[in-house]
Chains A and B, each alone.
Chain A
Amino acid sequence: MTEPPARIAAADLTAYYGTFAAVKNATIGFASNEVHALIGPSGCGKSTFLRTMNRMHEVVGGHVTGSVVLDGQDIYGSKVSLTQLRRRVGMVFQKPTPFPTMSIYQNVAAGLKVGERLSRNDRDARVERALQQAGLWEEVKDRLKASAVALSGGQQQRLCIARTIAPQPEVVLLDEPTASLDPMGTQRIEETLFGLKKDFTIIIVTHNMQQAARVSDTTSFFYIGQMIETGPTKQIFTNPADPQTEAYITGRFG
């Protein structure tokens, strides 16, 4: 089987909290313009793994060995600028995190303020496009100056997606983005992901196996810090190679 070249790839990656290795020797490549799901039981290291992809793991005091290569460059190299890296690899969190002091517009434009200088018109266009891609434009176009925290939870999460994609990153990481949402909000986010993969490489951590099956092209199964198996989603869910994967997806543990 020939695989497409990876946009971002982890090689022999081990992620520590202190001396505890939450992820052990993970090697996965993620191809462009696809949605990749990371599944596994709670505490299996999938969120930690995700956070190594934009070096947010270090924010909570963790460290890693191994490498993550983005477009041929190791993001753990000594010359890498953390701020530039995070502009290229955006992240959406489990709970919506709109900035409460900013309006809807300001929230989406927040990431643009630290990137390249944009004219007012360009910035407006970027904000509108990001909101459209996140499926929120129609709902908020008449109240862009309203407070972002007045939105519903699902809208806030789509706002956070818009904020993440407005600076046009290459990779978008989503850490259980629908965990705090109701089924309607979840469905809207999932619909949004279909559109987003045209422009971005998407990696999503999810507890919900149906969600992984619905939205992703490839799936990786994590168990106790190990990446057990990676493959096309259909194959993982219908004909997994590893017995542990099979046990998990058929609901025998986890």
Chain B
Amino acid sequence: MNRVVWRRWKSRIMVSLLIASVLVAVAPLILILGTLIIRGAGSINFDFFTRMPAPAGEAGGGVAHAIVGTLLMVGTAGLIGLPLGIGAGVFCSEFPRSKLATTARFVADVMNGTPSIVIGVVAWTLIVARQKHFSGFAGSAALAMIMIPMVLRTTEEMIKLVPHSLREAALALGYPRWRTSLSVMVRTCLPGIVTGSLLAIARVAGETAPLLFTALGSQFMGTNLRQPIAALPLTVFTYATGPYDDWHRIAWATALVLIMVVLCLSLIARLATRQRFHD
């Protein structure tokens, strides 16, 4: 009897410890979101999404230029980074022991551990310094460089989770190898690959350091990626470090918009990859 009571208490203690660690882990997230909403939500209105920044000292205005800049730059980075990353990931899972795959895997791991500011400097050296001006394309290239190794690794890991027996089943049906790979292996773990891709997009959407060296930022509405262009994280940086209270207010609101963009991406991913059966 005594032992039963002691076990029950042990169980309670362990469960409490686990609950406590969950709370500690989630607390910062809730604090961040809460602070953003409290400080930023009041400044968000329709104008905030559609208007340009007001001149310093004047109230009102918006960050339309930064929203457009981020969408353009991150979109372009995705167009470059996702196909390359997913393609390389598929290669590494199809030919896992090849020299090229082991090298790619190693390089990707190193790059995933590289601070993003270093990526920014690399993009600056390769693109900005040669072209002699900052540009949105340079920013996209830097963001794509961050995305590719991330997407490569998640794609490979996701495909590795698909049972080998499915590959054999497809091959035994007379599927050519490319078709086995795409319509069985990749298709089976597609939700995972999409989730990984969106996480990569969300991650680069919030990157600031690489853009300081490449896209530079801008106070004006611009859709030309050959020119310096605004971006949400850069706007947060500029306004948060500025001297005016009104600017700080805009920085909070911009940060909230950034989080909302990321949230929308995740939601779209969930909806897009829901299991459906046509035919």
Contacts and interface: CB of A to CB of B under 8 A. Distances in A.
Do A and B truly interact?
Answer: yes
B279 A87 contact: no
A86 B174 contact: yes
Interface in A95-130: 95, 97, 99-103, 105-106, 109-111, 114-115
A163 interface: yes
Interface string A46-82: 0000000010100100000000000000000000000
Contacts of B277: 102-103, 106, 145-147
A59 B173 contact: no
Given A102-B277, A114-B179, A59 B168 contact: yes
Nearest to A56: B172
A136 B71 CA distance: 51
A163 B190 CA distance: 23
Given A97-B168, A99-B166, A114-B179, A167 B174 contact: yes
B169 to A, nearest CB: 4
Contacts of A85: 174
A235 interface: no
B172 A91 contact: yes
A99 B172 contact: no
A115 B183 CA distance: 15
B261 interface: no
Interface residues of B, number: 21
A100 B169 contact: no
A164 B175 CA distance: 12
What is the interface residue range for chain A against chain B? 20 to 34
A19 interface: no
Secondary structure at the B interface, as helix, strand, loop or mixed, is: helix
Contacts of A101: 187-188, 190, 275
A164 B173 contact: yes
Given A99-B184, A114-B175, A147-B275, A56 B165 contact: no
Contacts of A59: 167-168, 171
Interface string B170-205: 111111100100001001101000000000000000
Contacts of B175: 83, 114
Interface in B144-175: 163, 165-175
A114 B169 contact: no
Nearest to B279: A106
Contacts, number: 70
A106 B275 CA distance: 14
B172 A103 contact: no
B165 to A, nearest CB: 5
B279 A103 contact: yes
Contacts of A83: 174-176
A86 B176 CA distance: 10
A59 B165 CA distance: 11
A97 B169 CA distance: 7
Given A101-B187, A102-B277, A54 B173 contact: no
Interface in B263-278: 275, 277
A90 interface: yes
A87 B173 contact: yes
A241 to B, nearest CB: 34
A146 B279 CA distance: 11
Interface string A148-190: 0000000000001001100100000000000000000000000
Contact of B169 (A87, A145, A160, A167): A160
A97 B279 CA distance: 20
A158 B167 CA distance: 19
Contacts of A210: none
B149 to A, nearest CB: 27
A233 B163 CA distance: 36
A95 to B, nearest CB: 6
B173 A110 contact: yes
Interface in B241-279: 275, 277, 279
Contact of B174 (A115, A145, A147): A115
Given A160-B169, A167-B174, 20 more contacts: A54-B172, A56-B171, A83-B174, A84-B174, A85-B174, A86-B171, A86-B173, A86-B174, A90-B172, A93-B165, A93-B172, A97-B165, A97-B166, A99-B166, A99-B169, A99-B170, A101-B187, A103-B277, A114-B179, A145-B279
Interface of B: 163, 165-176, 179, 184, 187-188, 190, 275, 277, 279
Interface of A: 54, 56, 59, 83-87, 90-91, 93, 95, 97, 99-103, 105-106, 109-111, 114-115, 145-147, 160, 163-164, 167
